[in-house]
Structure 1
Amino acid sequence: MKKVIMDVDTGIDDALAILYAIESKQLDILGITTVNGNVPLDYVTKNTLKVLHLAGENIPAYPGAVEPYLREAVHEFKVHGNDGIGNALDDMTVTKELEDTFAADFIIESAYEHNKDLTLIMVGPLTNLALALKKDPAIKDMIGEVVIMGGVVSNAGHGNMLPTSEFNIFADAEAAKVVFHKGLDITLVSLDVTHQVMMTDEHVEKLKDTKYYNFVKDATDEYMAYGLRLYGKRQCALHDPLTVGYVLNPTLLTTEKYYVDVETSSPLSYGQTICDFRGLLGKEPNVNICPGVDSERFLEDFIGTLNL
């Protein structure tokens, strides 16, 4: 089984991604690292521990960056609700505690221990990994693969923070820039494909009478209401679960390698992931982008995996 670390800013789709990864039974999840993002870090941490409790798993969780690499924090309460997971687990009491090790240090330790066998699944801002690379640059040669949910590449103008910017990159563009330029094996699962995997009420109803039905239904209600306002239909994009889906089955997505950089200066396009499709910059390709997705096959696998 692949040895993975999941780096999360647990809002709704992060929670679904964690459950998908666990219930796939195909991943050796070494730990989950938390990062400020969709909601503040204390919310992220509490949500992560609740999701692990719901799944009945004792996977260690490591607290990460409280704020971005350089800039001020931004959050997405309007999408993820007051607590980040649609208040779906308000009544849950969690006794599980966080590990003492800081997330960036856990990433460093794991890179040394599992040299080249380690996959990082990054579904929040990239602050923790940027901090780890800053502290110990040598780990860039020890991490096997980094799969990132972030950015918008071919479909510029359809961002979710600015017209050209996606939240995870926008929330810490400086950290993303650091990560993209360290020579890592990076695959970027961007809005170009995640906006093609929409979960609807019909999908949720396929989970009726299963372990996760109530949580998925309650957690995604506000998320789908946001989709209704945005698209005119009750639906929500499975950004983070698709990122896990790629790690489980790379054939779900097509990939092509190009040079990708991150805009950190312009107020009009801060956080934009700029892909040099025509090689105009003369730079070596550094990121595998995902131009296509088998959305039907992914949705079938995602729902089937949670259908316990």
Structure 2
Amino acid sequence: MNKLILDVDTGVDDAQAIMMALASPTVEILGITCCNGNTKLDNACKNTLRVLQKCNRLDIPVFRGCVQPLLAEPLHAGDYHGKDGLGDVPDPNAPGMDMLQDTHATQAMVNIVNDNPGEVSLVATSALTNLAVAVQLDPSFPEKLKALYIMGGNIESRGNTTVCGEFNFVVDPEAAYIVLNRYTCPTYIASWEFSCRNSVPWSFCDTWLAQDTEKARFMENISRHTRKVAQSEDNEKEETKRVGFNSCDAYALVAAIDNSVVTESEEVAVSVELAGNNTRGMMVLDYMGLLKKKHKATIMKKVNLDLFKKMMIDSVK
């Protein structure tokens, strides 16, 4: 079994990733930790519980994490995911916040990994604030992880939030810097450009969401706003044309489930730029070896799209 901790800021793509993990027979989710990011922390917690309720898995513990970045001003993605993070389609029967665990998310991460040293992979699809605090609580935390999978950063300085910055890293650049420089476990990164190049066709989305199941109807409902925005961007911005739906967070998740899904990658030392009017939050790839870092991250380049799409289909069956 793949023992996972999911660190999320549950918007639409986090919801997709969570559902893909829940659908996998080889995954055991030991806990889900929530962070400020796509939406405010309380929304992220509520949204996570909604997804688990829809999948009949409210037995999985959910933990409330960091409410704001380490130093940066809070930033959210309400224009893309909806103000509440799940398309602004509230559910009056959604679970309440009383379903959350009492332990803070960062301490929960440390506890879970200490109980399962070398066995747990951490999948981070949010700003990396919780992870940065966790390594402060326990400096040995990263070396006890089996692996770390990150959705975030960019490899060609193409931003989606600032000129050169990807959202998750821009939300908390200091946290991203800490994680990329202090986590020395095997590290796999699904960057923004990588996810764009491996988008699924809109025609597939129609088939995927047309399945006659409660989960498919849930996903169709919460993703309607996001798909409308993304399709509009496809039509208007030829230079960043994706020609399909980019389920950003799901790419990091599927790699954690089955590394063979990633068919092309490269290893390189990475860091994060913390200064610069246009480059703060940009991921730095050190091809020249000037940073003198021994630890290298695996940068994903291509996925087996057929297998990825099958996992998407299975997630809403």
Aligning the two structures, in what range does the TM-score lie when normalised by the shorter sequence?
over 0.9
Question: In structure 2, how many angstroms separate the alpha carbons of the residues matched to 1:136 and 1:70?
Answer: 20
Deviation at 1:275, TM superposition (A): 0.5
Q: List, as ranges, runs of 4+ consecutive aligned residues in structure 1 with deviation greater than 6 Å.
A: none
Confirm or deny that 1:185 pairs with 2:186. Answer: yes
Confirm or deny that 1:249 pairs with 2:252. Answer: no
Q: Once superposed, what is the RMSD of the aligned Cα atoms? A: 1.7
Aligned to 1:225: 228
Amino acid at match of 1:189: A
Deviation at 1:124, TM superposition (A): 0.2
Q: Is the 8 A contact 1:180 1:286 kept in 2?
A: no
Q: 104, 110, 113: which one pairs with 1:111?
A: 113
Counterparts in 2 of 1:78 and 1:225: CA distance versus 1, 3 Å: same
| Secondary structure of the structure 1 residue equivalent to 2:99 | coil
Q: Is the 8 A contact 2:122 2:147 kept in 1?
A: yes
Aligned length: 305
Aligned to 1:237: 246
| Secondary structure of the structure 2 residue equivalent to 1:73 | coil
Aligned to 1:216: 219
Question: In structure 1, how many angstroms separate the alpha carbons of the residues matched to 2:303 and 2:243?
Answer: 21
Counterparts in 2 of 1:97 and 1:236: CA distance versus 1, 3 Å: same
Task: Among all aligned residue pairs of Structure 1 and Structure 2, give the percentage whose two residues are the same amino acid.
Answer: 30
Q: Is the 8 A contact 1:165 1:272 kept in 2?
A: yes
| Secondary structure of the structure 2 residue equivalent to 1:13 | helix
- Deviations, residues 60-117 of structure 1 (Å, cap 9, x unaligned): 1000000011111100000001211012443333146100000000111112111111
Unaligned residue ranges in structure 2 (runs of 5+): 236-241
Deviation at 1:146, TM superposition (A): 0.6
Q: Is the 8 A contact 1:199 1:237 kept in 2?
A: no
- Deviations, residues 1-49 of structure 1 (Å, cap 9, x unaligned): 1111000000000011111100112211001000000001011111111
Amino acid at match of 1:272: M
Aligned to 2:238: none
Q: Is the 8 A contact 1:220 1:236 kept in 2?
A: no
Residues 111-130 of structure 1: matches in 2 within 5 Å? 111-130=113-132
Q: Is the 8 A contact 1:130 1:175 kept in 2?
A: yes
Deviation at 1:257, TM superposition (A): 1.3
| Secondary structure of the structure 2 residue equivalent to 1:44 | helix
- Deviations, residues 187-223 of structure 1 (Å, cap 9, x unaligned): 1111122112235254243342123121111111111
Q: Is the 8 A contact 1:31 1:60 kept in 2?
A: yes
Q: Is the 8 A contact 1:17 1:241 kept in 2?
A: yes
More displaced stretch, 277-286 vs 7-16: 277-286
More displaced stretch, 53-62 vs 95-104: 95-104
Q: Is the 8 A contact 1:260 1:274 kept in 2?
A: yes
Question: In structure 1, how many angstroms separate the alpha carbons of the residues matched to 2:41 and 2:316?
Answer: 30
Aligned to 1:301: 311
Amino acid at match of 2:228: A
Unaligned residue ranges in structure 1 (runs of 5+): none
Counterparts in 2 of 1:156 and 1:287: CA distance versus 1, 3 Å: same
Q: Is the 8 A contact 1:12 1:220 kept in 2?
A: yes
Question: In structure 1, how many angstroms separate the alpha carbons of the residues matched to 2:7 and 2:44?
Answer: 11
Q: Is the 8 A contact 1:126 1:179 kept in 2?
A: yes
TM-score, normalised to structure 2, is 0.91
Amino acid at match of 1:289: I
Aligned to 1:267: 277
| Secondary structure of the structure 2 residue equivalent to 1:274 | strand
Aligned to 2:8: 8
Question: In structure 1, how many angstroms separate the alpha carbons of the residues matched to 2:41 and 2:176?
Answer: 18
Counterparts in 2 of 1:91 and 1:218: CA distance versus 1, 3 Å: same
Aligned to 1:92: 93
Q: Is the 8 A contact 1:79 1:223 kept in 2?
A: yes
| Secondary structure of the structure 1 residue equivalent to 2:174 | helix
Deviation at 1:293, TM superposition (A): 2.1
- Deviations, residues 246-289 of structure 1 (Å, cap 9, x unaligned): 11111121222111010111121111001112334443343111
Counterparts in 2 of 1:24 and 1:242: CA distance versus 1, 3 Å: same
More displaced stretch, 171-180 vs 193-202: 193-202
Residues 34-49 of structure 1: matches in 2 within 5 Å? 34-49=34-49
Question: In structure 2, how many angstroms separate the alpha carbons of the residues matched to 1:289 and 1:138?
Answer: 24
Amino acid at match of 1:168: N
| Secondary structure of the structure 2 residue equivalent to 1:147 | strand
Aligned to 1:54: 54
Question: In structure 1, how many angstroms separate the alpha carbons of the residues matched to 2:139 and 2:100?
Answer: 26
Amino acid at match of 2:255: Y
